[in-house]
């Protein structure tokens, strides 16, 4: 079933037009990033911590909405880890947040996820917002969903990590290009793309 879902995501990403369209109905490039505080989280070492946007002093912050169960998230994990490692000493911070209300995505599962020696290790702080308020504030509808914030915490890019679920077919590196532009004092050439992945189920 995971392979079927992953294939569907690959098709959706490959067939999506990314130029000049609004995909997020809540926030847009140029908006101030919604703040958040005290989101329970775990560091890659398994240490319990919390995520507060105002505590992050890095030049660029990449907020990504994730879900443990989602094949699209699994498919991008290696690329996200590589990105985090490459940019951690360049003033860039990656933080993951999950808002799903299912057991395999809640905080105990996230702890297992970051400490399981048999699983892929992640190298960024990963938290769970049981209120789902953060996801709603950012208009996150799918996982993974990326938001690149500049030094003033303005949203400068939002959407997919790159343009294909299959790494060998990637031709456009949206998040990386946006971060590189900001670090160089420029504006990202692409400011929004359509996130493709598993839908987030919000509680009513």
- The 10s digit of each residue's pLDDT in 157-177 is 999 999 988 889 999 999 999
DSSP character at residue 134:
H
Report percent pLDDT > 90 for the chain: 79
Q: Which is more confidently placed, 15 or 107? A: 107
- Phi then psi for residue 151, to 5 deg, are -60, -35
Adjacent-strand bridge partners of 61 = 93, 149
* pLDDT at residue 58, rounded to an integer: 97
Asked if pLDDT for residue 182 goes beyond 50, the answer is yes
From the list 191, 196, 166, the residue with the least C-alpha distance to 179 is: 191
Asked if pLDDT for residue 13 goes beyond 60, the answer is no
Q: What is the rounded average pLDDT of the residues 166-193?
A: 96
Q: What is the pTM of this model?
A: 0.89
Asked whether the CA dihedral 64, 75, 22, 134 is positive or negative, the reply is: negative
Average per-residue pLDDT for the chain: 89
* pLDDT at residue 120, rounded to an integer: 67
Whole-angstrom distance, CA of residue 39 vs CA of residue 131: 10
* pLDDT at residue 51, rounded to an integer: 98
Domains of the chain as residue ranges with CATH: 2-199 (3.40.30.10)
3-state secondary structure of 22: coil
Whole-angstrom distance, CA of residue 58 vs CA of residue 47: 21
pLDDT bucket at 66, cuts 50 / 70 / 90:
very high
Q: What is the rounded average pLDDT of the residues 118-136?
A: 90
From the list 203, 200, 201, the residue with the least C-alpha distance to 145 is: 200
């Amino acid at each position: 079933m995971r392979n079927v879902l992953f294939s569907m995501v690959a098709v959706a990403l490959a067939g999506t037009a990314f130029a000049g369209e609004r995909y997020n109905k809540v926030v847009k490039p140029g908006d101030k990033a919604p703040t958040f505080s005290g989101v329970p989280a775990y560091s890659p070492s398994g240490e319990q911590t919390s995520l507060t946007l105002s505590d992050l002093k890095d030049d660029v912050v990449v907020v990504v909405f994730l879900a443990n169960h989602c094949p699209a998230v699994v498919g991008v994990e290696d690329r996200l880890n590589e990105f985090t490692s490459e940019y951690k000493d360049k003033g860039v911070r990656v933080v993951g947040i999950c808002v799903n209300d299912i057991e395999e995505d809640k905080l105990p599962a996230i702890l297992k996820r970051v400490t399981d020696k048999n699983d892929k290790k992640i190298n960024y702080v990963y938290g769970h917002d049981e209120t789902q308020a953060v996801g709603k504030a950012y208009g996150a509808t799918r996982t993974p969903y990326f938001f690149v914030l500049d030094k003033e915490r303005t949203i400068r890019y939002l959407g997919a990590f790159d343009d294909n679920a299959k790494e060998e077919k990637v031709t456009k590196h949206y998040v990386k290009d946006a971060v590189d532009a900001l670090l160089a004092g420029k504006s990202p050439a692409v400011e929004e793309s359509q996130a493709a992945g598993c839908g987030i189920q919000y509680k009513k």
